[in-house]
């Protein structure tokens, strides 16, 4: 599970309120995910018939667990960034007790789902790594550290391209190595986060190294069932070359999994990673335009089919818990300006 201890920051002024959408403008089709503060549903917008993913979060839980700043940051980041390999926000609205984020729906399945069936060919890992690195570089360009790169947060679209999702742990306005909070998922945490040192965007490149290694070999490089032991390995164990890895892939992982952040590949900018010999066959401009053929195309029956989504979610009847009559509501002003509609001026 995720480790999150984040400093609480005073509310920032967010964006203007948007046209009044409500949950009734959407038909709930299926449950497709569950987070710490709510659920994610596949929904159809009644007016247009378009399919989206809708994340529903409980305001009181967000306030109780001090996740207020994370939630608003997620919502701001998703509105401000638009990129072929990132999930985009289409609408945001709220009721008295809940927040709703309506995003693009991608039903090719999570990378986690495919990795659980077995490791990837190096060619497939290379393609995903290249698309992911373009998405992460785009966030970095906007001074956002992503902090949660892992297979569960990587979706495939029906063509087989990557979409990075879940910006709940992302941090905005990061200049240099100035972030201090401990957060992320244990297997993918960079050493400087574990050592509680101030850190910067380079933690995402460490996570990319971990992910590339895991895609090719089947397990993260320093994985251990015992978390304490795993942290110890992240801090000091030598990186083992797997027989499944080419020398170039191992060289790239070694440079991304450099414990000293200033010596890590990517510290001096994303171009350092792009130029690595492992990526020599990638035409980066064609990749950005999605002109490179994905190595695997999910068998997706239709725009709304969910065959690649875990049954543990899909079997849950989709329903938004009604507000109890006697509900004590959090400060309603706390979430003012949360709402948003794409293309509507703010």
Among 270, 312, 289, smallest CA distance to 112 is for 312
Three-state secondary-structure class, residue 166? coil
The answer to whether residue 25 is catalytic is: no
Q: Is the pTM of this model over 0.85?
A: no
Predicted local confidence at residue 84, as pLDDT: 94
- Can you give the pLDDT of all 346 residues of the chain as single tens digits? 444 433 333 333 333 344 578 899 999 998 887 766 678 899 999 999 999 999 999 888 888 777 777 788 888 888 878 899 999 889 998 888 898 999 989 888 889 989 999 999 999 999 999 999 999 999 999 999 998 999 999 999 989 999 999 887 887 666 766 676 666 678 889 999 898 888 899 999 999 999 999 999 999 999 999 999 999 999 999 999 999 999 999 999 999 999 999 999 999 999 999 999 999 999 999 999 999 999 999 876 656 665 555 555 555 555 666 555 555 555 556 666 666 556 544 3
The phi, psi pair for 7, rounded to 5°, reads -65, 150
Phi/psi zone of residue 315: left (φ > 0), alpha (ψ -120 to 50 degrees), beta? Answer: alpha
- DSSP run (H or E) holding 229: helix 227-236
Inter-residue contact 3 to 182 (CB < 8 Å): yes
- What is the chain's length? 346
DSSP class of residue 241? P
- DSSP run (H or E) holding 206: helix 202-217
Among 123, 87, 78, 138, smallest CA distance to 108 is for 87
Predicted local confidence at residue 3, as pLDDT: 44
SS (H, E, C) 51-71: EEEEEEEEHHHHHHCCCHHHH
Predicted local confidence at residue 4, as pLDDT: 40
* Active-site residue identified among 25, 148, 157, 177: 148
- First-to-final CA distance of the chain: 37
Predicted local confidence at residue 73, as pLDDT: 81
């Amino acid at each position: 599970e995720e480790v999150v201890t984040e400093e609480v920051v005073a509310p920032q002024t967010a964006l203007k309120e948007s046209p009044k959408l409500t949950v009734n403008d959407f038909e709930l089709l299926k449950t497709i995910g569950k987070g710490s503060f709510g659920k994610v549903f596949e929904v159809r917008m009644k007016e247009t018939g378009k399919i989206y993913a809708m994340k529903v979060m409980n305001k009181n839980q967000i306030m109780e667990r001090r996740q207020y700043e994370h939630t608003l940051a997620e919502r701001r980041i998703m509105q401000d960034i638009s990129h072929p390999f990132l999930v985009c926000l289409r609408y945001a609205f709220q009721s008295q007790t809940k927040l709703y984020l309506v995003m693009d729906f991608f039903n090719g399945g999570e990378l986690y789902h495919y990795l659980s069936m077995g490791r990837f060919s190096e060619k497939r890992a290379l393609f995903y790594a290249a698309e992911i690195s373009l998405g992460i570089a785009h966030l970095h360009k906007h001074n956002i550290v992503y902090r949660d790169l892992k297979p569960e947060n990587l979706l495939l679209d029906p063509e087989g391209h990557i979409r990075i999702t879940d910006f709940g742990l992302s941090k905005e306005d990061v200049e240099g190595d100035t972030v201090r909070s401990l957060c992320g998922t244990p297997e993918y945490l960079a050493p400087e986060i574990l050592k509680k040192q101030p850190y910067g965007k380079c933690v995402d490149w460490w996570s990319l190294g971990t992910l590339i290694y895991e895609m090719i070999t089947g397990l993260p490089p320093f994985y251990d069932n015992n978390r304490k032991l795993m942290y110890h390995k992240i801090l000091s164990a030598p990186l083992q070359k797997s027989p499944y890895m080419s020398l170039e892939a191992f060289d790239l992982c070694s440079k991304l999994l450099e414990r000293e952040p200033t010596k890590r590949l990517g510290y001096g900018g994303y171009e350092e990673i792009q130029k690595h010999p492992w990526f020599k066959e990638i035409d980066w401009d064609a990749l950005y335009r999605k002109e490179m053929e994905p190595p695997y195309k999910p068998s997706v029956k239709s725009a709304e089919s969910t065959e690649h989504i875990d049954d543990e979610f899909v079997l849950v009847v989709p329903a938004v818990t009604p507000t109890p009559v006697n509900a004590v509501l959090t400060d309603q002003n706390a979430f003012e300006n949360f709402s948003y509609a794409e293309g509507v001026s703010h």
